[in-house]
Amino acid sequence: MVMKLYCFGESGHSYKAALALELAGCDWEPVFVDFFNGETRSPDYRSTVNVMGEVPVLLDGDVKLTQSGLIQTYLADKTGLHGGTTPTEIREVLRWILWDNGKFSTLIGATRFLMNFVPEDKRPLQVIEANHARLRGSYKVLEAALDGRDFLVGDAITHADMTCCGYLYYPEFFGFDKSQWPNIGHWLNNISQTPGWKAPYDLMPGSPTDRA
């Protein structure tokens, strides 16, 4: 049975789930969600797709899952791939998923949205500057963790990598410059060389050019 992922190209959290599906070789298809025209805020979406009004949403037969971290964990259990190979690695993958969702991707997502998708005269510059300060701390954590390593956990790509890289491949500028973070840059290159890897706008429908 073909799995379905409710998503849209600009969503970094959707990208984590889409990349996980793709790299695991799952039979899946994207279902475009028109976020910028308010679909996730509609009563129909909230009543039939996700009461939280968010993407991604994964449908696998009778199983419906929301939240990218849960979807990634589910796919690791289902496929036996990318979840770690020892109890210690499994815990480490989960640790990075929790860190990323709480301290990294959510903050990047908000900053990127404010800097690129909000009209320039309405951008809260003090909020953006505060976010950049917080993100510098997170970049330092990630840079240190990747010192001398190709991937975050073990010797091959896992969901730890797929969750933390989620927003870092987007072309819109949100304050991140990988040339300033050589370990992160090396890691991103390793991920993008993984067979089956695709950039966000090549993997999911929807991009800023579609709305230009």
What pLDDT was estimated at residue 111? 98
What pLDDT was estimated at residue 212? 76
Are both 65 and 107 inside the same structural domain?
Answer: no
Token duo for residue 80 = 């036996």
Residues 135, 130: Cα–Cα separation, whole Å: 9
What pLDDT was estimated at residue 211? 87
DSSP per-residue string spanning 149-171: -SSSSTTS--HHHHHHTTTTT-S
pLDDT, one tens digit for every residue, the chain (212 residues): 999 999 999 999 999 999 999 999 999 999 999 999 999 999 999 999 999 999 999 999 999 999 999 999 999 999 999 999 999 999 999 999 999 999 999 999 999 999 999 999 999 999 999 999 999 999 999 999 999 999 999 999 999 999 999 999 999 999 999 999 999 999 999 999 999 999 999 999 999 999 87
What 3-state class would DSSP assign to 176? Answer: coil
What pLDDT was estimated at residue 69? 98
Q: Which residue has the tokens 């860190």?
A: 99
What pLDDT was estimated at residue 101? 96
What pLDDT was estimated at residue 167? 98
Report the CATH number that the domain containing residue 169 is assigned in CATH.
1.20.1050.10
Are both 106 and 136 inside the same structural domain?
Answer: yes
Q: Which domain holds residue 46?
A: 3-82+198-211
Are both 54 and 38 inside the same structural domain?
Answer: yes
Q: Which residue has the tokens 């410059």?
A: 177
* Total domains, the chain: 2
Are both 73 and 129 inside the same structural domain?
Answer: no
Are both 60 and 147 inside the same structural domain?
Answer: no
Cβ atoms < 10 Å from Cβ of 109? 18
Are both 183 and 93 inside the same structural domain?
Answer: yes
Burial of 198 (0-12, 13-18, 19+ CB in 10 A): middle
Are both 120 and 172 inside the same structural domain?
Answer: yes
Are both 122 and 59 inside the same structural domain?
Answer: no
* pTM for the predicted model, two decimal places: 0.97
